[in-house]
Amino acid sequence: MKHETEVYLAAWSRRVESSSGTTDGWVKFYLPDDDLLDKLSAFGDDAARGTKKAGGKLFKMILVEVDEIDEPVGVNLPKPLKLSQWAALLCKDPMFYEFLKGFHTPMIDLMRSSGVKFEPDIEKRCAQVIRFGCSVDSRSMLDDNALAAETFNDAFYNPFKQYKEGKQ
């Protein structure tokens, strides 16, 4: 089961060692609704009773503190890539040129008939096709031009993603 939700810390205790033995530390969370509790209870009666071995199941949990606007606190998450960066990565992928030749032949023919001189380097040639197909002078314009961005996603990025998944 994979589940992502927001929980709140209710209480916690450190590991305690005494003459009668060791008590493990514990953490208690408030769950947002009973639906999640029902999903967790499906792991067995031992889990519901709170024994150390919750039905013999092992769980992995990732906690990230967030501020008032749900931004991670103290975590340096990578920034999402811009469309121009995605376009550059596509041009470096050898399968992308194969995709272009198969799915964008009419556009490539139109480019040739328009007098476009293709670069000998395949990566640069792919960039030419993207720029021509999206009607931009530079891939960086994909980041600021809504129509070009939509064209890039609809004509190149999403179809190539599907193409690549079908090949694997």
Note the pLDDT tens digit of each residue in 58-90: 666 777 778 888 777 877 767 788 999 999 999
- Distance CA(10)–CA(155), nearest Å, equals 49
Span 89-103, pLDDT tens digits = 999 998 999 999 888
| Helical packing angle, 94-103 and 83-92, nearest 10° | 90
* pTM for this predicted structure: 0.54
Residues of the chain with pLDDT under 70: 1-4, 18-23, 38-60, 77, 168
Q: Give just the sign of the alpha carbon dihedral 144, 145, 149, 150.
A: positive
**Bridge-based pairing state of the strands 21-23 and 16-18:** antiparallel
